[in-house]
């Protein structure tokens, strides 16, 4: 329902079609075609078998596939990719598998944001106090790939252009609590905010 509301509200204001580009593709693309995304204040659940729980704080692009199969970027939002980086560290081939987990998005959709260099702040709260925090940055000036290149390689596949589908693409992160040795515990709260993207995205952890 939330995704449908976003589409209705924003298609009136912006139709930004991804531009063709021929650069190299990223190694990781998408979570999967499955309802794995939650939103503000919803629990992110670490199930049995996880080696680590971590909060890649990112900005995500939201796209709607038109009736003729054309993808339209309708806006961007803060995101929490919630990945298992200990599993990924065991073998670089585990990178995709480490991201096939639940994730979150929101709470606000920003139409046509400035995505050149976006400062942000990510925090881990435990028992009402800040356990860890770090200033981060994202945007085209902070990434190895341009937005045009990422969009080109995602939507070049016919299977990614089904009319009526909604796509969410997480653009990556530069700061993780995993690198500081933080192990998320049950009840911890992940707080992610980016300048110009409205209220923070907050998700408690359930283990």
**Would you call 70 exposed, middle or buried from its count of C-beta atoms within 10 A (0-12, 13-18, 19+)?**
middle
Grade residue 10 by pLDDT with cuts at 50, 70 and 90.
very low
Per-residue model confidence (pLDDT) at position 16: 47
* Cα separation, 170 vs 173, whole angstroms: 9
Distances (CA, A) of 160 to 26, 61, 71, 167, 182: 16, 14, 9, 8, 36
The string of pLDDT tens digits covering residues 58-110 is 899 999 999 999 999 999 999 988 776 566 666 766 566 556 567 888 889 99
Per-residue model confidence (pLDDT) at position 144: 85
**Which residue has better confidence, 86 or 37?**
86
- Mention the CATH class of domain 2-28+41-206: alpha beta
* Cα separation, 8 vs 69, whole angstroms: 18
Per-residue model confidence (pLDDT) at position 179: 63
Per-residue model confidence (pLDDT) at position 49: 43
**Which residue has better confidence, 127 or 21?**
127
How is the chain split into domains, by residue range?
2-28+41-206
**Do 37 and 107 contact (CB within 8 A), yes or no?**
no
Per-residue model confidence (pLDDT) at position 194: 95
The string of pLDDT tens digits covering residues 127-184 is 999 999 999 999 999 888 899 999 999 899 998 999 999 998 888 766 666 666 788 8
Only one residue has tokens 């400035």, namely 114
If you average pLDDT over residues 35-54, what whole number do you get? 48
Per-residue model confidence (pLDDT) at position 5: 38
* Cα separation, 9 vs 109, whole angstroms: 10
């Amino acid at each position: 329902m939330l995704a449908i509301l976003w589409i209705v509200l924003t298609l009136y204001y912006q139709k930004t079609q991804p531009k063709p580009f021929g650069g190299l593709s990223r190694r990781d693309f998408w979570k999967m075609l499955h309802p794995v995304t939650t939103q503000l204040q919803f629990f992110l659940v670490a199930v049995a078998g996880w080696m680590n729980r971590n909060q890649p704080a990112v900005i995500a692009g939201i796209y709607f596939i038109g009736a003729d199969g054309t993808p339209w970027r309708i806006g961007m939002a803060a995101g929490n990719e919630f990945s298992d980086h200990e599993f990924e560290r065991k073998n670089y081939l585990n990178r995709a598998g480490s991201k096939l987990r639940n994730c979150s998005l929101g709470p606000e959709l920003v139409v046509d944001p400035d995505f050149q260099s976006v400062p942000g702040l990510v925090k881990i709260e435990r028992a009402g106090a800040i356990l860890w925090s770090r200033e981060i940055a994202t945007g085209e000036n902070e990434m190895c790939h341009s937005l045009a290149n990422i969009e080109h390689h995602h939507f070049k596949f016919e299977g990614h252009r089904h009319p009526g589908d909604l796509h969410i693409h997480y653009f990556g992160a530069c700061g993780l609590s995993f690198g500081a040795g933080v192990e998320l515990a049950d009840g911890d709260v992940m707080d992610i905010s980016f300048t110009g993207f409205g209220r923070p995205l907050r998700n408690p952890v359930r283990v």
